[in-house]
Structure 1
Amino acid sequence: MSTATLDLILNDYHHVTANKTESLAAIKNTTLVITGGTGFVGTWLAGLIAFLNDHHAFNVNLILIGRNIEHFKMTRPHLAKRNDIQLLSSDIRYLAELPQETNWLIHAASNPDNRFHASSPMETMSIIANGTYSILRAIERCADFKMLLNLSSGLIYGSQPMTHPAIDEHYIGAPKCGTVSSAYAEAKRFAETLCHSSRSQARMPVITARPFAFIGPYQSLERPWAINHFIKDALSHKPIRVLGDGGTIRSYLYASDMAFWLLSILTRGQSGEIYNLGSDEAVTLKELAAMITALIDPAIEIQLSTASNQPKNSRFVPEITFAQNNLQLAVTTDLHHALKKTIAWNTL
């Protein structure tokens, strides 16, 4: 990776931790394990830990568990070659034990790509359900374990009514059973229940985070989500094609905020609690496309598809006041700057 791309991310870490590093002090001189550690979420967390070690003497020993370690070594050498980061290759469904020194664990091992969910729904559910079970059993053998942070999904709430501005952690909803498209969300619901069962039966210290949508460097523009397609097409100076009339509503949390929030929830959240993880800055896809073209080339055409067979508009926006009020967290990068940074990183 170029110096310019690394500097952009380093500046993000400086920004998101300004005057707040001591809020993460509980993690100093400990060992953190991240499953799914070589993916988008894991990479941002690894970078934040490296930043805290380099600039604030946190002395965290980080262990990343993933299935594609060699690819991580090739694409993220600035992290893979560090002495304070260990890489372990494993399918978490068959993980029998963790390093005995493990104090904290962030369980982020699942594939959020809905193309994979559609083509391999049983594999999707197996990775989430059996992987979570293996992790819980492995943690039981760690001598000084402090907290498990299980990454669930905002999709567990089911379809959000268009008239419901934001979903809070107490919203009663669920995915539609009996459809392949619900495989990921239903498995995440099961994994949440499994974690809370372990808390009850084995006194496992566990917190749940429910991620919504993110954007930022390290996220491939080949991902099958609207924002990624919009940026990719605009950078190629192609028309941006919006399914439907553009009235679908989303929100996007920038990656550095995501990483800081996760470490904050891990180290300062209370066992048994559930926290939404996302931004409350709602935007329609039509507005999003316009923001992207304004940053890249205002002359790029935005094409709306209003054919009768287009999907209905949907809404996916979290209520985040619980985390804001209880953990003093804030969204430090608004959508405009999140897009600006992401576009810059993809053009360096």
Structure 2
Amino acid sequence: MSNSVFDLAGFLGEDFERLGDPLLQRCSALDGHRLYLTGATGFFGKSLLALLALLYQRGVRFEVTALSRDPQRFLAQQPWCAKQPWLSLRAGDVREPWPGEGSHDLLLHAATDTVASAHINKQDVLDNLLASARQMVAFCERAGVRRMLLTGSGAQFGAIPNEWAATGIPDNAQIACDPTQPSSAYGEGKRLTELLAALHSQRHGTAIVYTRCFAFVGPGLALDGHFAIGNFIRDALAGRPIQLSSAGEALRSYLYGADLAVWLLLLLLEAPAGACVNIGSDKKISILELAQRVCALLAPNAHGVEVPRCATSSNGERNCYLPSIEMAKSMGLDVWTPLELAIVRTASFATG
């Protein structure tokens, strides 16, 4: 891995500029606000911080308090953050009372363990989500938060029926994960977080924006985690064959990190109170096609894609994890970065 990780703000800054002035002008509505951000050191958080750094350079003035388990470690990995006068990193755990003085009118709660190792103990997954949700509403009351955005998950929908493979699951779909299954701990924890926020809103009038986040790619995404696209990019860059664990018929879609950051900020600032908005891409692709595309873009002369010999066709049954983004599009949001460019940009950042 190269030292390009130190230049995340500059790298993503090129992407934000590519998205154009009209979008950045909308983001400038952050001027004059105080924002509290959890999950600042994860993929979502780092992409947001890079966007905020560019906005500050463009003259937008705001303050951000960001919660981190280990601020010094984070600054060692992302030294550009130490140079941001608008950013205050506070040490803390989302499961315990959140540090931060004074009022914060905006909150973006993006803290979630998405690495596979964090999901081994399902009881811990649920307990951690509920503990952080309780601290979230306690902080909102203490800090006078007026608007907040929750980063939920497509996992809240449970198994998405294949009938939505063509269009993606609607934002307002009334389906959910099965609460009798331990594997639903993450999705149910996210659902309960939304319920606690709704109860807080009823008591205090806080405007809540609910989001269901799907799959993403971009600078800062772990290439050695359990994200298929990250693993594919890693193997292609190493000149290894991309090895699938199935026939690759599952359907996915991927939103680029720069697009994601703009979506999150604009939904926080502009979405109607109570809105439930899917965040992701509506450009579907099978896992096999994804692997082939990564290989063609990054390692056309390498060993290609290997499908297990025992892999069998699903006879039309496809694992579908796709959002409809009609509500986001109605708010002027879209998939601005094509998948091919997103893959190349992610690989370019990783190699420096």
TM bracket (short chain) = over 0.9
Matched residue of 1:62: which SS?
A: strand
Q: Distance in 2 between matches of 1:187 and 1:161?
A: 21
Partner of 1:136: 137
The one of 27, 33, 37 equivalent to 2:36 is: 33
Deviates more, 1:167-176 or 1:289-298: 167-176
Partner of 1:332: 336
Specify whether residues 78 and 310 from structure 1 end up closer, same or farther in structure 2 by C-alpha distance, changes over 3 A only: farther
1:172-187 correspondence to structure 2 within 5 Å: 172-187=174-189
1:160-171 correspondence to structure 2 within 5 Å: 160-165=160-165, 166-171=168-173
Deviates more, 1:36-45 or 1:125-134: 125-134
Partner of 1:13: 16
Q: Check if 1:303 corresponds to 2:306.
A: yes
Specify whether residues 310 and 93 from structure 1 end up closer, same or farther in structure 2 by C-alpha distance, changes over 3 A only: farther
The one of 301, 314, 323 equivalent to 1:318 is: 323
Q: Check if 1:227 corresponds to 2:229.
A: yes
Q: Distance in 1 between matches of 2:200 and 2:8?
A: 41
Identity %: 27
* Counterpart AA for 1:134: Q
The one of 13, 23, 26 equivalent to 1:23 is: 26
Q: Check if 1:190 corresponds to 2:192.
A: yes
Deviates more, 1:309-318 or 1:288-297: 309-318
Deviation of the 1:147 alpha carbon: 0.5
Matched residue of 1:19: which SS?
A: helix
Partner of 1:106: 108
Q: Distance in 1 between matches of 2:28 and 2:12?
A: 22
Contact (CA 8 Å) 1:97, 1:139: kept in 2 or not? no
Q: Distance in 2 between matches of 1:294 and 1:193?
A: 45
Aligned residues: 344
Per-residue Cα deviation, 1:94-122 (whole angstroms, up to 9, x for no partner): 115643231111001111123311x2322
* Counterpart AA for 1:88: R
Per-residue Cα deviation, 1:120-169 (whole angstroms, up to 9, x for no partner): 322222221111111111111224x3311111111100111223120111
Q: Distance in 1 between matches of 2:28 and 2:239?
A: 46
Q: Check if 1:347 corresponds to 2:348.
A: no
Per-residue Cα deviation, 1:269-293 (whole angstroms, up to 9, x for no partner): 1111111000001000111011111
Partner of 2:57: 54
Per-residue Cα deviation, 1:47-105 (whole angstroms, up to 9, x for no partner): 111110012x1111111102132221111110133221110111122115643231111
Deviation of the 1:23 alpha carbon: 1.6
Q: Distance in 2 between matches of 1:193 and 1:309?
A: 41
Matched residue of 1:227: which SS?
A: helix
Q: TM-score, normalised by structure 1?
A: 0.93
5+ unaligned residues in a row in structure 1: which ranges?
A: none
Specify whether residues 139 and 7 from structure 1 end up closer, same or farther in structure 2 by C-alpha distance, changes over 3 A only: closer
* Counterpart AA for 1:147: R
Q: Distance in 1 between matches of 2:141 and 2:20?
A: 32
Matched residue of 1:163: which SS?
A: helix
Contact (CA 8 Å) 1:49, 1:60: kept in 2 or not? no
Q: Distance in 1 between matches of 2:20 and 2:210?
A: 22
Deviation of the 1:4 alpha carbon: 6.9
Matched residue of 1:243: which SS?
A: coil
Q: Distance in 2 between matches of 1:86 and 1:174?
A: 37
* Counterpart AA for 1:94: E
* Counterpart AA for 2:341: H
Q: Distance in 1 between matches of 2:40 and 2:186?
A: 19
Q: Distance in 1 between matches of 2:312 and 2:178?
A: 21
Partner of 2:122: 121
Contact (CA 8 Å) 2:224, 2:230: kept in 1 or not? yes
* Counterpart AA for 1:31: R
1:65-104 correspondence to structure 2 within 5 Å: 65-95=67-97, 98-104=100-106
Specify whether residues 102 and 156 from structure 1 end up closer, same or farther in structure 2 by C-alpha distance, changes over 3 A only: same
Q: Distance in 1 between matches of 2:28 and 2:264?
A: 14
Specify whether residues 140 and 310 from structure 1 end up closer, same or farther in structure 2 by C-alpha distance, changes over 3 A only: farther
5+ unaligned residues in a row in structure 2: which ranges?
A: none
Deviation of the 1:310 alpha carbon: 10
